[in-house]
Amino acid sequence: MNAQKTGLLIYEMRTRKGLTQKELAEKCNVTDKAVSKWERGEGCPDVTVLPKLAEIFGIEVENIMNGEIPLSQDVSGKTIKDYNFRQPDRYPRYMQRELGILGEDICKVINQEFTAILNGRCDFSVEMVDQMVNIEFLNSIPQKCFFYDFDFANAGFTIEIDPELAKALMKQDFSKHEAITDFDLEVFKEHFLKIICKVMNQKIALRTDKKLPEEKFSLAKVNASANPNQTRQEEHRMMLLLALKGKADDKSGWINIQFSDTLIENMFLSGWFNEDMPGKIKFQNLKNIKCREEPDNIFIEFGRFRPENVELEPGKILILDKKENDGLDVVYENRVIHTGKTVSIDESFGIEIAETPQLSEIEYTEKDYISIQLGSASLKKEEIAALHQGSYITLKQRAGDPSLIIRAGKVIATGEICIADDTFAIRITEVK
């Protein structure tokens, strides 16, 4: 059993099911520390626990032992989201997983410390790790809240606490004391915020060999406000959000930690997200020489174009003839058999079939052409025949991967899909 791969699988299946480490531990009759060790790759579940895990996750014991689920067109239990080419995926799943583990560490500490301060039980857990643009986050939180800006605009972060939750932690009745005063902000900072910042600093310093300065997590320079819109954030910059959901004094709410894209980059460069960190064992699966993979037979394309006078060079933008709201072409045996909407299915690109085949199917007979391709898949004939409006195709490409520019079946360049006005375009990033 591969501890690293099995741990990653357990983490992903647990988060898909919406379970905390503690809830999964209770279902398996083990401690939450045991679950934490599994997910960190520091140990494997006992063989007596594997059947229970398989039952909870709805998968086979063999899948847990191998640390992987075979690719399938069955998308039950998977996270499916519309894919926005104006806001492409930037942070892969492993980065979000590492941030989620940091969140679990934060929750363990604040559950203990907050409970001691209040002399009453506090229960926090990681609810979500997601990537979004700044304006989406600012529009999703209360207009009045406990908002602490740790120089977000300059490689920093913010911490937002829902007002009712913050008031409950300070033993205030929100219905009687709805206003958030400077005194409230200061009290929360000194008694609760410092605990969150301390564990963030310790965990990040440990993993990055103290390459990130401690001043970044200092309360001395934090800008406290009851109005999050006063922060100096570029609205359309990408960031990662770590959302903790908790309960105190029968009041539920959120503590949201917003990591700026520049802080994420600095953490990456300092080794936080580095999958090749010293001391980590590397694994590579070998494939039997007699084992043949099924060749791809389904191709998702933005269209095929005449190759005459097309010049490819990095940085150049090619404008396509497909509108942003048009479905992409599902091509099988050089025929467009469906169109579909781009989605992400967990980490992968996917297509949701948008319409049934038309009598006027497009058939490509040209031997020389340029195709702009989102991705591909290998489906059995019966699976292709069963495709209908609303069904999904999971592609082999990860969401956010570069698109391929193909001439007569050969990859000649790659690029990033973008939007020019309301039309798809591709910005050339590499010429083969």
C-alpha distances (whole Å) from 60 to each of 9, 34, 267 are: 12, 21, 36
* 77 φψ region: left (φ > 0), alpha (ψ -120 to 50), beta (else): left
Burial label, 45 (beta-carbon count in 10 A; 0-12, 13-18, 19+): buried
Name the nearest CA neighbour of 129 among 137, 139, 141, 138.
137
* The pLDDT value given to residue 76: 61
Residue predicted with more confidence, 124 or 231: 124
Contact (Cβ atoms closer than 8 angstroms) between residue 256 and residue 243: yes
All domains in the chain, ordered by first residue: 1-70 (1.10.260.40), 90-269 (3.40.1550.10), 298-431 (2.30.330.10)
What is the crossing angle of helices 3-16 and 50-57, to 10°?
40
What tens digit of pLDDT does each residue of 376-403 get?
Answer: 999 888 888 878 778 899 998 888 888 9
Cα 332 to chain centroid, rounded: 31
Report the alpha-carbon distance of residue 299 to residue 33 in Å, rounded: 45
What tens digit of pLDDT does each residue of 89-113 get?
Answer: 778 777 888 899 999 999 999 999 9
196-224 exposure pattern, b = at least 16 Cβ within 10 A, e = fewer: bbebbbebbbebbeeebeeebbeeeebeb
Contact (Cβ atoms closer than 8 angstroms) between residue 398 and residue 88: no
In percent, the amount of the chain with pLDDT more than 70 equals: 90
Report the alpha-carbon distance of residue 99 to residue 312 in Å, rounded: 38
Residue type present at position 407: R
What tens digit of pLDDT does each residue of 311-348 get?
Answer: 888 888 899 988 888 889 999 988 898 899 998 887 78
| 87 three-state secondary structure | coil
Paired with 125 in beta bridges are 245
* The pLDDT value given to residue 385: 81
Burial label, 305 (beta-carbon count in 10 A; 0-12, 13-18, 19+): middle
- How many residues are listed for the chain in this entry? 432
C-alpha distances (whole Å) from 266 to each of 210, 213, 261, 314 are: 12, 11, 9, 27
Contact (Cβ atoms closer than 8 angstroms) between residue 133 and residue 235: yes
* The pLDDT value given to residue 107: 94
Q: Is the pLDDT of residue 352 over 80?
A: yes
Mean pLDDT for the chain overall: 85
What tens digit of pLDDT does each residue of 15-40 get?
Answer: 767 788 888 999 999 998 899 889 88
Alpha carbon dihedral 125, 128, 129, 134, in 10-degree steps, equals -120
Query: Largest Cα–Cα distance of the chain, in whole Å?
Result: 76
What tens digit of pLDDT does each residue of 245-302 get?
Answer: 999 888 899 999 999 999 998 888 888 876 544 444 455 567 677 766 678 889 999 9
Report the alpha-carbon distance of residue 107 to residue 200 in Å, rounded: 11
* The pLDDT value given to residue 72: 44
* The pLDDT value given to residue 249: 80
Phi and psi angles of residue 279, each rounded to the nearest 5 degrees, phi first: 95, -15
In percent, the amount of the chain with pLDDT more than 90 equals: 31
Q: Token pair of 417, please? A: 């899909």
* The pLDDT value given to residue 359: 42
Contact (Cβ atoms closer than 8 angstroms) between residue 365 and residue 404: no
| Strand ranges of the sheet holding 146-150, from the earlier edge strand across to the other edge | 122-133, 238-248, 251-260, 157-161, 146-150, 223-225
pTM surpassing 0.75?
no
Report the alpha-carbon distance of residue 326 to residue 339 in Å, rounded: 8
Return the sign of the alpha-carbon dihedral for residues 355, 357, 362, 368.
positive
